[in-house]
Amino acid sequence: MADNWVRVCETSDVDQEDVIRFDHAESTYAIYRSLDDDFYATEGLCTHEQVHLADGFVMDNIIECPKHNGRFDYTSGAAAASPVCVNLQTYPVKIEGDAVYINIPDDDAELR
Amino acid sequence: MLNSAEPIVIIGAGESGTRTALTIRQLGWDGPLTLIGEENTAPYERPPLSKQRLSSPDSPVATITTASELHDRRIDFLQGRRAVGIDRTSQVVSLDNDSTLPYGQLLIATGSRARPLPIAGGDHAITLRQITDIERVLEAVRTPRLCVIGAGLIGLEIAAQAWVHGTDVIVVEAADEVLSRVAPPAMASLIRHRHERSGVSFVLGTQAHRIGRHNDQYIVTLSNGTAIECDRVIAAIGSIPNCELATDAGLLVANGIVVDDQLRSSDPLILSAGDCCSFPAAGSHVRLEAWRNAHDQANVAAQNLAGSHISYVTVPWFWSDQYDFSVQVVGTPSAGATDVERHTHDSATFVFSLDVDGVLVAASGLGTGSSAAKTIRAAQMLIEDRCIVDPAALADPTVSLRAIRKTATT
Ligand SMILES: Cc1cc2nc3c(=O)[nH]c(=O)nc-3n(C[C@H](O)[C@H](O)[C@H](O)COP(=O)(O)OP(=O)(O)OC[C@H]3O[C@@H](n4cnc5c(N)ncnc54)[C@H](O)[C@@H]3O)c2cc1C
Ligand code: FES
Nearest CA of chain A to the CA of B371: how many Å?
6
Please report, for the domain that includes residue A46, its CATH number: 2.102.10.10
Could you tell which of B50, B110, B251 is best to mutate to test the pocket of ligand 1, judged by most ligand atoms within 8 Å of the CB?
A: B110
- Report the chain B residue with the minimal C-alpha distance to residue A52: B370
User: Is A82 in contact with B19 (Cβ distance < 8 A)?
Assistant: yes
Domain contains A21: yes
Residue range of the domain that includes B260: 8-111+239-305
Q: How many A-B residue pairs are in contact by the CB < 8 A criterion?
A: 38
Instruction: Give the separation between CA B109 and CA B296, rounded to whole angstroms.
Output: 13
According to DSSP, residue B380 is labeled: H
- The ipTM of this complex is 0.85
Same domain? For B124 and B231 the reply is: yes
B86 and B272 Cβ atoms separated by less than 8 Å: no
Same domain? For B231 and B298 the reply is: no
Domain contains B313: no
pTM (2 d.p.):
0.93
What's the CA dihedral at B272, B274, B280, B286 to 10 degrees? -130
Q: Which residues contact B248 (CB under 8 A, 6 or more apart)?
A: B85, B86
Cα–Cα distance list, B18 to B24, B44, B56, B274 (Å): 10, 9, 26, 11
Domain contains B319: no
Q: Which residues of A touch B400 (CB under 8 A)?
A: 15
Residue that terminates a domain, selected from B203, B235, B267: B235
A64 near B CB under 8 A: yes
Edge-first strand order for the sheet with B92-95 is: B83-87, B92-95, B100-102
Reduce the DSSP state of residue B293 to 3 states and report it. Answer: helix
State the amino acid at position B137 in one-letter form.
V
Measured from the Cβ of residue B13, the count of other Cβ atoms closer than 10 Å reads: 30
Domain contains B255: yes
pLDDT higher than threshold 90 for residue A41: yes
Whether the CB of B10 sits within 6 Å of ligand 1: no
B280 and B265 Cβ atoms separated by less than 8 Å: no
pLDDT higher than threshold 70 for residue A110: no
Q: What's the confidence (pLDDT) of residue A112?
A: 45
Q: What's the confidence (pLDDT) of residue A105?
A: 83
Q: How confident is the model at residue A18 (pLDDT cuts 50, 70, 90)?
A: very high
Same domain? For B293 and B193 the reply is: no
Same domain? For B135 and B91 the reply is: no
Q: How confident is the model at residue A35 (pLDDT cuts 50, 70, 90)?
A: very high
Same domain? For B163 and B300 the reply is: no
Residue range of the domain that includes A60: 5-105
Choose the mutation target among A63, A69, A71 for the interface with B, i.e. most B CBs under 10 Å.
A69
Measured from the Cβ of residue B21, the count of other Cβ atoms closer than 10 Å reads: 29
Instruction: Give the separation between CA B201 and CA B172, rounded to whole angstroms.
Output: 9
Q: Residue A42 burial (CB < 10 Å; 0-12/13-18/19+)?
A: buried
Phi, psi (degrees; rounded to nearest 5) at A49: -120, 155
B92 and B213 Cβ atoms separated by less than 8 Å: no
Instruction: Give the separation between CA B259 and CA B108, rounded to whole angstroms.
Output: 11
Domain contains B316: no
Instruction: Give the separation between CA B130 and CA B46, rounded to whole angstroms.
Output: 7
Same domain? For B342 and B364 the reply is: yes
Same domain? For B144 and B90 the reply is: no
* Counted domains in chain B: 3
pLDDT higher than threshold 50 for residue A109: no
Residue B53's H or E segment, with its range, is helix B52-55
Same domain? For B105 and B137 the reply is: no
Side-chain-side CA neighbours of residue B256 (13 Å): 24
Same domain? For B98 and B244 the reply is: yes
Domain contains A13: yes
B351 and B338 Cβ atoms separated by less than 8 Å: no
State the amino acid at position B113 in one-letter form.
R
Instruction: Give the separation between CA A84 and CA B371, rounded to whole angstroms.
Output: 20
Same domain? For B107 and B244 the reply is: yes
Cα–Cα distance list, B242 to B108, B112, B115 (Å): 9, 5, 11
Domain contains A90: yes
Helix axes B15-26, B291-305, angle to 10 degrees: 40
- Report the chain A residue with the minimal C-alpha distance to residue B401: A57
Instruction: Give the separation between CA B75 and CA B32, rounded to whole angstroms.
Output: 8
Domain contains A110: no
Same domain? For B158 and B182 the reply is: yes
Instruction: Give the separation between CA B208 and CA B197, rounded to whole angstroms.
Output: 24
Same domain? For B144 and B199 the reply is: yes
Q: Which residues of A touch B378 (CB under 8 A)?
A: 57
Q: What's the confidence (pLDDT) of residue B4?
A: 66
* Beta-strand relationship, B112-114 and B239-241: antiparallel
Q: Which residues of A touch B23 (CB under 8 A)?
A: 82
* Counted domains in chain A: 1
Instruction: Give the separation between CA B392 and CA A49, rounded to whole angstroms.
Output: 36
Count of positions (residues) in chain B: 410
Q: What's the confidence (pLDDT) of residue B33?
A: 98
Q: What's the confidence (pLDDT) of residue A111?
A: 45
Whether the CB of A83 sits within 6 Å of ligand 2: yes
Does residue B185 have a cis bond before it (omega within 30 degrees)?
no
Domain contains A111: no
Please report, for the domain that includes residue B102, its CATH number: 3.50.50.60
A46 and A64 Cβ atoms separated by less than 8 Å: no
Residue that terminates a domain, selected from B177, B202, B235: B235
Instruction: Give the separation between CA B267 and CA B239, rounded to whole angstroms.
Output: 25
Domain contains B332: yes
Q: Find how far residue B352's CA is from the centre of its chain.
A: 22
Nearest CA of chain A to the CA of B86: how many Å?
31
Instruction: Give the separation between CA B381 and CA B174, rounded to whole angstroms.
Output: 34
Please report, for the domain that includes residue B344, its CATH number: 3.30.390.30
B301 and B20 Cβ atoms separated by less than 8 Å: yes
Cα–Cα distance list, B249 to B84, B243, B256 (Å): 11, 10, 14
A55 closest CB neighbour out of B62, B371, B402: B371
What does each of the 410 residues of chain B score in pLDDT, given as a tens digit? 555 679 999 999 999 999 999 999 999 999 999 999 999 999 999 999 999 999 988 888 889 999 999 999 999 999 999 999 999 999 999 999 999 999 999 999 999 999 999 999 999 999 999 999 999 999 999 999 999 999 999 999 999 999 999 999 999 999 999 999 899 999 999 999 999 999 999 999 999 999 999 988 999 999 999 999 999 999 999 999 999 999 999 999 999 999 999 999 999 999 999 999 999 997 899 999 999 999 999 999 999 999 999 999 999 999 999 999 999 999 999 999 999 999 998 889 999 999 999 999 999 999 998 999 999 999 999 999 999 999 999 999 999 998 898 888 77
Q: Find how far residue B34's CA is from the centre of its chain.
A: 25
Q: Which residues of A touch B294 (CB under 8 A)?
A: none
Q: Which residues contact B268 (CB under 8 A, 6 or more apart)?
A: none
